[in-house]
């Protein structure tokens, strides 16, 4: 009888979680459509008169284009400039600086695949996922073509600042390691010094226990539970890609085009094979959720370095507090409805007693502070399986001048999506954090000489 009650509660939780996620997805989609329609009507009926733009000379002699770009890399289910119309994943933060790029990468593709896509987005050319990797995971070796790179001069003398949210931070780390290992065919001169700084916003460095609540099996971190939120997501994504509605995929794309899960190529039987788990990214494990388990993150981290000439910064978020030694959500109003159930569940996390712990010295209490998507311990800096150099920051001025090769991290009272999508919800914290990021990139992070900003005398 007790077992049936447990099953009933699990089913109820699944239904509620699924409903909340679907409603939030529809909210994002409808907001983007409404914004585009509003803009189209404004342009149609209230088109301003053409004005002649007069450009004045920059007294400092420095052109904006000479500054290294700041590249904002989105997380899971995210999107870049050009998707969802004029809607901004980073809630307009990209407008805070004259030299910001917002690439659109696969929203559910693996961190490896996204790192490859990011390289060619910047340098240009056709995305090459690598022959060995492509054969191992059953997808095409080549993907999207960028006729012209968004920063083709990128090299050691023209390095880049990266800001990654959630899984986007780990994407940049994997890309930097690929540059150090010279993993891009035709580019034998790459090095880790192509990356000037990495800033992480709620970065997924060491995995998250949320993956197990959503449906990943805690014993291996690769397979999914038969009935779970991720299984419903898997089915929806396969059908979405198989239907291949061009205008819809132009508006939002999960990023699995290189798996060719299209109606014209697979047919009805191919769809059945994908749904049964015999083909596609979910069958081979080449998608982002396997990378976000503790096991998957540890495997990835085992060959990722913190490099001595790169500056590293991290903002770790949490929406929990301790009362009499028990971790609980820190209030209801400060947590987004999309995340509240997961904040509560993750704060009470217990590793299954019949499953070996993921690493030596593991303790449940270390993984209970969270922001609804990631555990706070995972976001500060890379620490599994090897602890990387780090320093807790309370006041920014305390760590100036900055030193490369160290992860400077702050703990921020916020949930996982406070600094994306909805700027009004974040309030003054939004501007404080993004302003500090852009100011640090422009004024405090450099290798040779300080940068001269436009309209600012040396």
pLDDT for the residue numbered 130: 97
Report DSSP state, residue 365: G
Query: Exposed, middle or buried: residue 378 (CB in 10 Å: 0-12, 13-18, 19+)?
Result: buried
What are the residue ranges in the chain where pLDDT is below 70? 1-3, 5-7, 47-63, 65, 448-458
Residue 140 CA: distances (Å) to CA of 115, 127, 130, 143, 223 = 16, 10, 9, 7, 23
pLDDT for the residue numbered 54: 41
Q: What gap in Å lies between CA 200 and CA 75, rounded to an integer?
A: 11
Q: Which of 358, 380, 355, 359 is nearest to 369 (CA)?
A: 380
pLDDT tens sequence across 435-456: 999 999 998 777 765 444 444 4
pLDDT for the residue numbered 449: 52
pLDDT for the residue numbered 448: 64
Read off the pTM. 0.92
Q: What are phi and psi of 337, to 5 degrees?
A: -55, -30
Rg of the chain in Å (alpha carbons) = 22
pLDDT for the residue numbered 36: 80
Would you say 174 and 181 are in contact if contact means Cβ atoms under 8 Å apart? no
Residue 436 CA: distances (Å) to CA of 97, 104, 170, 402 = 12, 24, 21, 14
pLDDT for the residue numbered 332: 82
Sequence-distant (≥ 6) Cβ neighbours of residue 103 within 8 angstroms: 71, 73, 80, 81, 117, 118, 121, 122, 150
């Amino acid at each position: 009888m007790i077992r049936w009650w447990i099953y009933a509660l699990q089913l109820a939780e699944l239904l509620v979680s699924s409903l909340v996620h679907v409603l939030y997805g529809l909210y994002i989609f409808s907001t983007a459509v409404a914004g585009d329609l509003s803009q189209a009507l404004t342009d149609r009926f209230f088109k301003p008169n053409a004005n002649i733009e007069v450009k004045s000379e920059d007294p400092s002699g420095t052109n904006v284009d000479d500054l290294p770009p700041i590249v904002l890399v989105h997380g899971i289910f995210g999107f870049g400039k050009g998707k969802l119309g004029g809607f901004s994943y980073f809630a307009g933060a990209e407008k805070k600086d004259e030299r910001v790029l917002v690439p659109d990468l696969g929203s559910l593709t693996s961190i490896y695949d996204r790192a490859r896509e990011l390289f060619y987005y910047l340098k240009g050319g056709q995305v090459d996922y690598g022959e060995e990797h492509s054969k191992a995971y059953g997808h095409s070796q080549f993907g999207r073509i960028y006729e012209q790179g968004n920063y083709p001069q990128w090299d050691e003398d023209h390095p880049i600042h990266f800001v990654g949210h959630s899984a986007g931070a780990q994407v940049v780390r994997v890309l930097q390691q690929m540059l150090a290992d010279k993993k891009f065919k035709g580019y034998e001169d790459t090095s880790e010094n192509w990356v000037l700084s990495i800033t992480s916003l709620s970065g997924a460095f060491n995995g998250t226990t949320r993956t197990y609540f959503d449906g990943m099996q805690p014993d291996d971190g690769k397979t999914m539970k038969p009935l779970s939120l991720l299984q419903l997501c898997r089915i929806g994504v396969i059908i979405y890609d198989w239907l291949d509605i061009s205008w819809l995929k132009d508006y939002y794309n999960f990023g699995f085009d290189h798996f060719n899960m299209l109606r014209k190529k697979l047919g009805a039987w191919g769809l059945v094979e994908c749904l049964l788990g015999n083909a596609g990214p979910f069958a081979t494990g080449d998608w982002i959720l396997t990378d976000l388990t503790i096991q998957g993150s540890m495997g990835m981290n085992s060959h990722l370095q913190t490099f001595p000439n790169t500056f590293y910064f991290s903002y770790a978020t949490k929406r929990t507090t301790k009362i009499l030694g028990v971790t609980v959500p820190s209030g209801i109003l400060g947590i987004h409805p999309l995340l509240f159930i997961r904040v509560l569940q993750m704060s009470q996390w217990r590793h299954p007693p019949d499953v070996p712990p993921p690493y030596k010295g593991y303790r449940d209490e270390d993984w209970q502070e969270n922001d609804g998507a990631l555990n706070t311990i995972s976001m500060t800096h890379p620490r599994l399986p090897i602890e990387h150099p780090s320093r807790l920051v309370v006041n920014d001025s305390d760590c100036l001048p900055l030193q490369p090769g160290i992860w400077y991290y702050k703990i921020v009272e916020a949930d996982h999506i406070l600094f994306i999508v909805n700027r009004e919800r974040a309030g003054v914290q939004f501007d404080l954090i993004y302003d500090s990021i852009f100011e640090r990139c422009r004024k405090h992070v450099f290798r040779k000489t300080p940068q001269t900003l436009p309209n600012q005398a040396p």
